[in-house]
Structure formats: structure tokens, C-alpha cells
């Protein structure tokens, strides 16, 4: 896969065959949520990484193979946890609704 994903982040310059990518968008009632935070937790619930969402609500992690939890924290919203499976050679696209 090369180029931009439909409605998502560009994958230009990323060798998807060698990466396990978890990316997506945080939204509220279909609108993007910028300046939220998305945490990547391992299968035991341990914190691994955190990124802020862009103005368009997008985020991206490069993760190892396996099951992960995305914990989304945003103003005026309860935290939202979402399970995701990452595997080398694929892009896990996630939409988180808060």
C-alpha cells in the first residue's frame, strides 16, 4: 500500500511491509476531535506511548505484533478504550467515537 489512505493519513515514505501500524481518527458526532490524547497500552494494560490528535483528529502508532488497547482522553468526554490487533505488514485503521 502506498500513498494516502482514503480519508486518512498519508503512508508516503512508510514501508508498510516492515511495520505494524495502528492509526485512525477520534471523532465526536462525526466531527474530528483535535487535541485529544490517544494512549497505546499493551495487553497487560501497561502504558507504552501517547500521542495528541491532529486538528483533523488523526493519530498514528508504530507497534509490535499483537493485541493493544487504545485509550482516548478528550475534554468533556469519558475515557474510551478500544482493542486493536497490530501485525507487521498491515495498517489497523481505527475510528474512536467519544
State the chain's mean pLDDT as an integer.
Answer: 90
Q: Of 17-21, 36-40, 65-69, 73-77, which gets the smallest average pLDDT?
A: 17-21
Cα-Cα end-to-end distance for the chain: 29
How many Å apart are CA 86 and CA 97, to the nearest integer? 20
List domains and CATH numbers for the chain.
16-97 (2.60.40.10)
In the chain, pLDDT over 90 holds for what percent of residues?
81
| Cell numbers given for 37 | 490524547
For the record, the C-alpha cell of 89 comes out as: 505488514
> Are the beta carbons of 14 and 91 closer than 8 angstroms?
no
- pTM, two decimal places: 0.86
State the pLDDT confidence band at 4, using cuts at 50, 70 and 90: very low
Reported as a pLDDT band with limits 50, 70 and 90, residue 5 is: very low
Amino acid at each position: 500500500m502506498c500513498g494516502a489512505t482514503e480519508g486518512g493519513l498519508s503512508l508516503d515514505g512508510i514501508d508498510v511491509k516492515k511495520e505494524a501500524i495502528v492509526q485512525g481518527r477520534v471523532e465526536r458526532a462525526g466531527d474530528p476531535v483535535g487535541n485529544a490524547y490517544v494512549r497505546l497500552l499493551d495487553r497487560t494494560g501497561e502504558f507504552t506511548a501517547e500521542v495528541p490528535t491532529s486538528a483533523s483528529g488523526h493519530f498514528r502508532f508504530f507497534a509490535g505484533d499483537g493485541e493493544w488497547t487504545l485509550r482516548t482522553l478528550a475534554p468533556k468526554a469519558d475515557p474510551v478504550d478500544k482493542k486493536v490487533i497490530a501485525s507487521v505488514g498491515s495498517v489497523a485503521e481505527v475510528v474512536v467515537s467519544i
